[in-house]
Structure 1
Amino acid sequence: MKKNLLGKSDLLVSELALGCMSLGKDKQAAQTIIETALEEGINYFDTADLYDFGLNETIVGAALKPVRERVIIATKVGNRWEEGKEGWSWNPSKTYIKEAVKHSLTRLQTDYIDLYQLHGGTMDDPIEEIIEAFEDLKKEGLVRAYGISSIRPNVIREFATRSSIDSVMMQYSPLDRRPEEQVLPLLQEHNISIVARGPLAKGLLSTSWREKIGKFQERGFLDYSSAELTDLLNELEHKLSDARTLNALSLRYLLQHEGVAAVVAGASSVSQLKENVRAVKEAPLSEEELQLIQQLTKANQYVQHR
């Protein structure tokens, strides 16, 4: 599988990353999915200390320990579980980040984290303090690179211009083209990579979209009504060549953009994982396919956090 450099770092990440949140709590099932991902050429695994109260990091760390030097492990920090674990609060302080990284390292059974990410962020956060925390961790050798996970253009702008982040993880798909308006050009200018999460738009851009569409009957998806979604997906499918899947149309569309280093897709089964691998390995989109997507879908724009 093709690998791309992440920002200005020396991290070479596979175009398809395994989003580990959907692995579940069954260690053996998760192990099988992770081993299959490795066999398919995936070297980039994304987790967070929030997922399953840290159990996700534990499962991922145990599965990847035998191949630690061959993989890129990304995790996130900032959300702190409350006592009793009935909810969590946001804590982006330097003290908390430097405390939390130790717990993640222990759960992941590793001496360093390849990519450490702020799991959110607002304009009210102590941004200079956050940057100092991540820079300290880099100097101490506990993290190799750092980034943020955010869909807020104003927050992304602050980190892009004030820090040495190598990546921004954000929601991006042909049904959510908001990053194209402001964020993509800004990050490319600063040589910061985009890691696209939600590339299949909650399953709407997959071969099983007809099974998923019912969940969007009342609220639609972003600025698409349910009726618009049905018409759009039918038209996209109708105009696709027989050899191109809807999954591939979406994943290849994102990877067509030079600023996108990887797409993060979750998988709760081996078959789901293999479907995404097949999609990523399909040929790049033709100019005709690229134009088709851009003509049929909306050039959404951010309304808030500009």
Structure 2
Amino acid sequence: MKKRELGKSGLYVSELALGTMSFPDNEVEAKKIVDTAIHAGINFFDTANIYAGSKNEKIVGNALKEHRENIVLATKVGNKLNADGEGWTWDPTKRHITEEVKHSLHRLGTDYIDLYQLHGGTMEDNIDETIDAFESLKKEGLIRQYGISSIRPNVIKRFLEESTAVSVMMQYSPLDRRPEEWIPLISRSGASIITRGTLAKGYLTMEGQKRANASDGFALYHTADLKQIVNTLNEEVDDLHAASIAFALQNKTVASALVGARTTTQLLDSIVAYEKGCSTDQMDNLKNLTAMHRYTEHLI
């Protein structure tokens, strides 16, 4: 599997990354998924401190233990779980970030995090304090690099301008092309994009039509529009799963396309799709059939 550099970080990540949010609670099954990924050449794994009430980090850490030196491990911070375990609150303060990294390191069973990501952000945040927290953790050697996971253009722009962030994780797929307007800005900053929602909640897989029929819409597609576009794409694009992964990776500002998996079968489907790729004609067809929407909020 090919690798690309994450920003100018010196970290080289596989073009296909594994998002672990939907991992099973069963550690044996989770390890099977991880081992399948490793065998296929995936070296980039992403989790977050709040996934599964913080249990996900522990499951991921245990599954990756024997591979730690050969993989790039990413997690996120900024959302703080409530004491009752129901929901979370936003806390981008230096105090929270510098405390929470210790908990993540413990759960992951590692001495350092390769990529630590701010899990959201608002324009009301004290951005200087937040960035100072990440820079301090870099100096301590607890993290190697940091980035942001957000779909708010104004938050992303300010974070990149004020920091040495190497990555932006954002929802991007043929069904959500809003980031395209902002790719040049991210590229000029020297950062890379990590796409999440690469398969648009499964609408761009073999199960897409079934899921669309039971959906109430996605991104800026309303229910009826979503059903129509998913049906059209399945009729006009040879392998929608393969084309969607290739779509995410067509721009070199994208370092890695993140896919999730609850089972080894789901992961293998994405690996096969990645390896299959997509012809230029099919890519052009995919682009012509989908709308290039733009963000309408969080612009200033």
- 1:228 maps to amino acid: D
Q: Distance in 2 between matches of 1:258 and 1:2?
A: 13
Q: TM-score, normalised by structure 2?
A: 0.97
SS, match of residue 23 in structure 1? coil
Is the counterpart of residue 234 in structure 1 residue 231 in structure 2? yes
Q: Residue 34 of structure 1 corresponds to which residue in structure 2?
A: 34
Q: Distance in 2 between matches of 1:120 and 1:285?
A: 35
- 1:201 maps to 200
Quote how far apart the aligned CAs of 1:162 are: 0.9
Query: Does the CA-based 8 Å contact 1:256-1:285 persist in structure 2?
Result: no
After TM superposition, the score normalised by the length of structure 1 is: 0.95
Cα RMSD for the two superposed structures: 1.1
Amino acid at match of 2:275: K
4+ residue segments displaced more than 3 Å: none
- Cα deviation for residue 213 of structure 1 reads 1.4
Check whether the contact 2:243–2:278 (CA below 8 A) recurs between aligned residues.
no
Match of 1:170 in 2: 170
One-letter code aligned to 1:261:
A
2:200 counterpart SS class: coil
Deviation at 1:232, TM superposition (A): 2.1
Contact kept, 8 Å, 1:253 with 1:285, in 2: the verdict is no
Deviations 1:214-270 (A, max 9, x none): 222xx32222233322332232222234xxx21111110010011111111110011
For residue 283 of structure 1, report the CA deviation from its aligned partner: 3.1
How far off its partner does 1:64 sit?
0.9
- Residue 253 (structure 1) aligns with: 247
SS in 2 for 1:29: helix
User: CA separation in 1, counterparts of 2:9 and 2:214?
Assistant: 40
CA distance in 2, matches of 1:65, 1:267: 19
Of residues 229-238 and 109-118 in structure 1, the stretch that sits farther from structure 2 once superposed is 229-238
Q: Determine if contact 2:243/2:277 at 8 Å carries over to the other structure.
A: no
8 Å CA contact 1:256, 1:284 repeated in 2: no
Structure 1 runs not aligned, ≥5 long: none
1:162-194 Cα distance to aligned partner (Å, 9 max, x none)? 11000000011100000001x211001111100
Cα shift at 1:87: 1.9
Counterpart-to-counterpart distance in 2, 1:247 and 1:136: 41
Rounded Cα–Cα distance in structure 2 between residues aligned with 1:223 and 1:151: 13
Give the match's secondary structure for 1:298. Answer: coil
Structure 2 CA distance for aligned equivalents of residues 200 and 37 of structure 1: 17
- 1:18-70 CA-partner distances (Å, limit 9, x unpaired): 10011021111111111111111111110001011211110111111111100
CA distance in 1, matches of 2:166, 2:40: 25
- Calculate percent identity across the aligned residue pairs: 50
* Residue type at the aligned position of 2:42: I
* TM-aligned CA deviation for residue 290 of structure 1: 2.7
Letter in 2 for 1:258: K
Cα offset, 1:284, TM superposition:
4.6
* Residue 262 of structure 2 corresponds to residue 268 of structure 1: yes
Whole-Å Cα distance in 2 between the matches of residues 27 and 34 of structure 1?
10
Counterpart AA for 1:214? N
